[in-house]
Amino acid sequence: MAAGDTALWLHNKLGSTDDLWSGRTICSQLSQERLQSIQECFHTLQPHVKVKLLLAFLHMPRRNTEQWKADLEEILSMAENDSDPWVTMVAEMLRMYPSTGTVNLDLDEVSGTFADVITDLKKMMKKSLETRMLPLECQFVNRSALNSIAGHSAQPIKHFTLKRKPKSATLKRELLQKSNEVSNNRKNN
């Protein structure tokens, strides 16, 4: 396919600014030839089309990313030098993706703002050690695993003194008693 046709195809597929999650829709139609054709027209694409194209890489079957690694990396390196900051950032995040399947986390040098935000938030985290928004898996895990995830928990706030147990305590006692009787009867019979 000629570079102009590829650009038009990408524009038709990814040109909408209403749906910014549509990158993956082109995955099944990518091939090595098409990726090479994309390299020729990449500079002519609109920034949001470039961004969506790069994000499509994440949705490709792993065997394809490995097979077309060189072409994907070529497109990523063109994108790393793009004038649009979003295009550059997405390319930097995906820089290692074709070879390792992981996201690049070393972004401080790429964007000063990113580095500043990380520094500020780390300071903020140190100030808010009292906050306990526990990860959702904590609900499932035994105490020793919980301690390995979130450290030892602080004592909950005591809002009052409990002067006697609520009705539920009697109910539990009665139920356990009944349960014992029934299971003893079963054993005896």
Partner 1 sequence: IKLISDAGYQGEITSVSTACHQIEVFSRVLRTSISSFLEGGEEAIEKNLQEFTKMVCHGEHTYLYSQVLMHILAQEPKGGFNIKRLCQELQKCANEKGLEITPITMALSGAAAYPRACQALSSMLSRQALNPADITVLYKMYSEADPPPVDLIRVPSFLNLLIDTLFRPPSRVNPDHKSKYMYLLAYAASVVDILKKGGRKSVNKEELKPTIQALEKTQSLCTENKASSELIADVGTLFQCLKFPVVSMGVLKWVDHTVSEPSYFKLNTDHTPIHLVLVDEIATNHILLHQKALDLLIRLFEGSYEELDVLVRLELKKKLLDRMVHLFSGGCVIPVVSYIRKCQDTQDTDISLIRYFVTEVLDVIAPPYTSDFIHLFLPLIENKDITGSIKSEDGTDPVSEFIVHCKTNYIVN
Place of tokens 């000629």: 2
User: Cα–Cα distances in Å, from 82 out to 38, 42, 77, 148?
Assistant: 15, 10, 9, 43
Residue 4 vs 85, nearer CB to partner 1: 85
The helix (H) or strand (E) run that includes residue 11 is: helix 3-14
| Maximum Cα interatomic distance, the chain, rounded to a whole number of Å | 87
Dihedral class, residue 164 (left if φ above 0, else alpha if ψ from -120 to 50, else beta): beta
Residue 37 vs 97, nearer CB to partner 1: 97
Q: Which of 109, 152, 154, 167 contacts partner 1 by CB under 8 A?
A: 167
Region 78-137 residues binding partner 1, contact defined as CB under 8 A: 85-86, 89-90, 93, 97, 100-103, 105, 107, 111, 113-114, 117-118, 120-122, 124-129, 131-137
Does position 173 interact with partner 1 (CB under 8 A)? The reply is no
Does position 2 interact with partner 1 (CB under 8 A)? The reply is no
- The interface mask with partner 1, positions 20-49, x = CB under 8 A, is xx-xx-------------------------
* Sign of the dihedral through C-alpha 25, 27, 31, 34: positive
Does position 12 interact with partner 1 (CB under 8 A)? The reply is no
